[in-house]
Amino acid sequence: MHAGGDASGAEVTRTLAAALRARGIAVLEHTVALEALRSADGVVCGVRTGRIGDAGELTDVTDLCARAVVLAAGGSGQVFTATTNPPGATGDGLALALRAGAEVADVELVQFHPTVLWTGAAAHGQQPLISEAVRGEGAVLVDAQGNRIMAGAHPLADLAPRDVVSATIAAHLRATGAECVFLDARHLGAEFLANRFPGIVAACRAAGFDLAREPVPVVPAAHYACGGVLADLDGRTGVPGLYAVGEVACTGVQGANRLASNSITEGLVAARRCAELLGAELPPLAEPLARPAPACLVDPSARAAITAATSRYAGVLRDAEGLAELGRVLADVPRPAGEPDLAAVEATALHTVATLIAAAAAARTESRGCHRRLDAPETRPEWQVRLVHRLDRAGLVRTRTVPVRVGADELVVA
Ligand SMILES: Cc1cc2nc3c(=O)[nH]c(=O)nc-3n(C[C@H](O)[C@H](O)[C@H](O)COP(=O)(O)OP(=O)(O)OC[C@H]3O[C@@H](n4cnc5c(N)ncnc54)[C@H](O)[C@@H]3O)c2cc1C
């Protein structure tokens, strides 16, 4: 799905925002969903929200009752130091659903985009993505000496699948100690690049690089969470009243390794199906318990340590030793009592996501899709299962495996 050259997402957002305005649907901006409201028998019947103040403080904490809650809170790329994802992609929708009793699956399956502009060792947060369409037009990956990175690594060379290109670059960086590789698009010409990739050319220029005149530095960075809240394609989670669509959901459509351009399509299809489902059978209004139990919040100052450790040990290439160390770092993160603010809510969600990734990536002793274990490089048939997690009454993570059955022309999740 493409619109506006390289601005598909902006076009989807513009269209949907206009549709909301046209129907007079109330939109609460600068407002965050904090906790699901639940009835005595566990039905989700609303959300607790907080308005985000100028300094990130939460004001006007309000309980909104609803017959259905549809989560569309996006992914969790911010759990890594560098990501293509926007600042809001902190996994707080996933963490909220988990606390509300939902199951989450496939969290270890994080897709890393191979060509994200490298803006220095201190880069953190959202980084500019250089679409593979640039390589599709003929740009190639090279090292500092101009040697092709992908030549011989895969029959499709620079057009190999994302996981292959990311893993090849990551292995090159490990072997050489280099901080980045380079994308050479000079031969495509300034005029062609400006017309075909206006957003990418502008992003490079803003970072001080000229895509038409020099090879630009790139590295792999976290891009898409294949995992999320276990849901079907109508958005149903296992919790009555709670629905999830888009990147926050894990329907299985993306398998262990999303193909480019399938995310927006999945989100649009699932959202429409969910709306049709709720139009036909909206659950009755349930009575919320007086107060949802407050989450035990993580100290926001721990955020940098959480993301640094997740990037180092659960990045493109993983092994048992590193994942165990990540688990230790996360277990030591302080949880002081204090007033909740947005920073604490986000740090807590990031900690939850990182903890799940560490545990699931350690458990999956094989390489599959975008999960690569250096110490278990083969794909193993006994791991043709999904790792599905939930919280028990004591708040401990419980994990079960669910077989993935592959038919002749279909994939069915049991
Ligand atoms: C740079 C980039 C390029 C991409 N290109 C493509 C592409 O070409 N094709 C494609 O198919 N996919 C692409 N993807 C992936 C795709 O854009 C995302 O998977 C998709 O936008 C996810 O949509 P979503 O509606 O589920 O979540 P999002 O679009 O991430 O929206 C989630 C929203 O929920 C808000 N939110 C989060 N938590 C809370 C909370 N607790 N309370 C209230 N609000 C909350 C967020 O602020 C955000 O506004 C790209 C992703 C990136 C980062």
Q: Mind listing the pLDDT tens digit for each residue in 329-361?
A: 999 998 877 778 999 999 999 999 999 999 999
The two three-digit tokens of residue 144, written as one number: 């500092």
Strand 82-83 relative to strand 58-65, pairing: unpaired
CB-ligand 1 contact for 88 (6 Å cutoff) = yes
DSSP element (H, E) containing 70: strand 69-71
Angstrom distance (rounded) from CA 102 to CA 349: 15
Q: Over range 350-379, report the average pLDDT.
A: 97
Task: State in Å: Cα 13 to ligand 1 middle.
Answer: 10
The two three-digit tokens of residue 189, written as one number: 């010409």
Strand 228-230 relative to strand 104-105, pairing: antiparallel
Q: Which atom of ligand 1 is nearest to the CA of 96?
A: 41
DSSP string for 338-386: ---BHHHHHHHHHHHHHHHHHHHHHH--S-BTTB-BTT--S--GGG-EE
Catalytic residue among 162, 318, 386, 390: 162
Q: 206 or 409, which is more confident?
A: 206
Q: Which amino acid is at 15?
A: T
Angstrom distance (rounded) from CA 251 to CA 255: 9
- Residue whose CB lies within 8 A of the most ligand 1 atoms, among 263, 274, 346, for a mutation test: 263
CB-ligand 1 contact for 259 (6 Å cutoff) = no
Q: Is 162 a catalytic residue?
A: yes
Q: What is the pLDDT of residue 414?
A: 44
- Average model confidence (pLDDT) across the chain: 93
Q: Which atom of ligand 1 is nearest to the CA of 349?
A: 41
Among 25-29, 288-292, 370-374, top mean pLDDT goes to: 370-374
Q: Whose CA is nearest to atom 14 of ligand 1?
A: 263
Which of 125, 131, 113, 112 has the alpha carbon at shortest distance from 4? Answer: 131
Domains defined for the chain, CATH in brackets: 8-109+226-413 (3.50.50.60), 112-220 (3.90.700.10)
Q: What is the pLDDT of residue 217?
A: 98
Does residue 136 carry a pLDDT above 70?
Answer: yes
Task: State in Å: Cα 74 to ligand 1 middle.
Answer: 5
The two three-digit tokens of residue 1, written as one number: 């799905």
Alpha helix stretches (DSSP H) within 256-339: 262-280, 303-313, 320-331
Model confidence at 409, in pLDDT bands (50, 70, 90)?
low
CA dihedral angle for residue 290, residue 295, residue 299, residue 303, rounded to 10 degrees: -130
Strand partners, 403: 385
Burial class (CB in 10 A: 0-12, 13-18, 19+), 393: exposed
Q: What is the pLDDT of residue 9?
A: 77
147-174: string of b/e by CB count within 10 Å (b at 16+)? eebbeebeeebbebbbbbbbbbbbbbbe
The two three-digit tokens of residue 255, written as one number: 């398998």
Q: What is the pLDDT of residue 369?
A: 95
CA dihedral angle for residue 270, residue 355, residue 303, residue 55, rounded to 10 degrees: 40
Question: Are 84 and 129 a contacting pair, CB within 8 Å?
Answer: yes
Q: What is the pLDDT of residue 12?
A: 85
The ipTM value here is 0.98
Q: Which atom of ligand 1 is nearest to the CA of 271?
A: 25
DSSP string for 387-402: EEEEE-TTS-EEEEEE
